[in-house]
């Protein structure tokens, strides 16, 4: 058995790609959570599809920006966390670990509440869900890319 000092060096490129994928997944997860929260409170993307009222279009526009911001910030924060963990910064690693545990607890609670509302299903909800998913992938990628570009400059 090899000692840790005798092991072959880790190739950074596959690890970097894995970090990108994880950061994008976290950003998409944040996007979908924001979409669920807004839908629970009646402020989702689907409000413009359900009514031609200008107030509903404004609510839908605000939901669009909130969902995009959640994806971007989620992707950026996850990438920044992974960069810090890869550089072995212990304090950031521990803080993020506790934050992620709390976040999963909150999201499980929100999912439980959402499952009891009974407002899910139908074409409008499917369109809004796929729109949020697509927006989340795009914004999470942009956030993760920004974090890695900033890390390369440091």
What are the pLDDT digits (tens) for 66-93? 999 999 999 998 888 888 777 776 776 6
Contact 75, 144 (CB under 8 A): yes
Contact 75, 141 (CB under 8 A): yes
Which residues fall within 8 angstroms of residue 144, CB to CB, at 6 or more apart? Answer: 20, 23, 24, 27, 75, 76, 78, 79
The closest alpha carbon to 75, from 128, 36, 34, 20, belongs to: 20
What are the pLDDT digits (tens) for 132-148? 888 989 999 999 899 88
Sign of CA dihedral 89, 92, 95, 99: negative
Contact 38, 48 (CB under 8 A): no
When pLDDT is cut at 50, 70 and 90, the band that residue 10 belongs to is low
What are the pLDDT digits (tens) for 23-82? 898 889 888 888 888 887 888 887 777 777 778 888 888 888 999 999 999 999 888 888
Contact 65, 136 (CB under 8 A): no
Chain-centre distance of CA 41, in angstroms?
A: 19
pLDDT of residue 52: 74
Tell me the residue length of the chain: 154
Phi-psi sector, 64: left (phi>0), alpha (psi -120 to 50), beta: alpha
Mean pLDDT over the full length of the chain = 79
């Amino acid at each position: 058995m090899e000692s840790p000092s005798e092991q072959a060096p880790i190739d950074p490129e596959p690890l970097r790609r894995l970090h990108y994928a994880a950061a994008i997944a976290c950003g998409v997860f944040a996007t979908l959570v924001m979409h669920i929260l807004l839908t629970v409170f009646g402020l989702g993307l689907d409000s413009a599809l359900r009514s031609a009222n200008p107030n509903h279009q404004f609510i839908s526009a605000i939901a669009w920006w909130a969902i995009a911001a959640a994806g971007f910030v989620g992707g950026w924060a996850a990438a920044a966390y992974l960069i810090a963990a890869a550089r072995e910064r212990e304090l950031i690693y521990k803080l993020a670990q506790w934050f992620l545990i709390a976040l999963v607890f909150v999201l499980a609670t929100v999912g439980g509440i959402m499952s009891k509302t009974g407002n899910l299903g139908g074409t409008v909800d499917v369109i809004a869900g796929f729109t949020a998913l697509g927006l989340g992938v795009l914004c999470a990628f942009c956030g993760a890319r920004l974090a890695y570009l900033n890390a390369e400059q440091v």
